[in-house]
Amino acid sequence: VLFEQNQWDSLVDQFKQEFYKLYGMTLEPLLNIYLQAGLTALKTPFCFEGNCPKEDPLSLDGFRKLAEPLPFSKQHHSKLVCHITKELMDTENPPLVLPNGYVYSTKALDEMAKKNGGKIICPRTGEECNYTELVKAYIS
């Protein structure tokens, strides 16, 4: 036996590295590099706490694994996401404030009121209130 198996493995790795260098190729597939570049812009701590909206690519395990070693993006503007629907709260789906101070989207609270005869039950505290007691939040 000329070489041990681990020496052959090392030799193969060295050969590959030199081959890639010689032809200007990357060890990492280009698709991964491009995906990571895009995921860097999307990666926030919010998505890694299990609160990622289903429309976000980081809600998928494959993308989440690819984004793990990447830094979090620098978000200059805050985004409000409803705790119930996991959807963005904006002018189309404005935030409403419950008497206890918790904030949820209009869409989520409209659906809840329809199912409960005009009653709203806070999913975090269990407190009940009437839909008429809700106050629209204005964000600037």
Q: Domain containing 100 — which CATH number?
A: 3.30.40.10
Report the C-alpha gap between 112 and 34 in whole angstroms: 41
Report the C-alpha gap between 118 and 35 in whole angstroms: 45
Residues 129 and 84 in one domain: yes
Report the C-alpha gap between 82 and 43 in whole angstroms: 18
CA-only gyration radius of the chain, Å: 25
* Residue 83, pLDDT above cutoff 70: yes
| Contact of 114 with 107, CB cutoff 8 Å | no
Judge whether 73 lies within some domain: no
Judge whether 36 lies within some domain: yes
* Residue 130, pLDDT above cutoff 90: yes
Judge whether 16 lies within some domain: yes
Judge whether 117 lies within some domain: yes
pLDDT tens per residue, range 36-80 = 888 888 877 767 776 677 778 888 888 888 888 888 877 666 788
Mean pLDDT confidence for 75-100: 88
Global pTM value:
0.47
Q: Which residues contact 115 (CB under 8 A, 6 or more apart)?
A: none
Domain boundaries, position 112: 80-136
Residues 93 and 113 in one domain: yes
How many separate domains does the chain show? 2
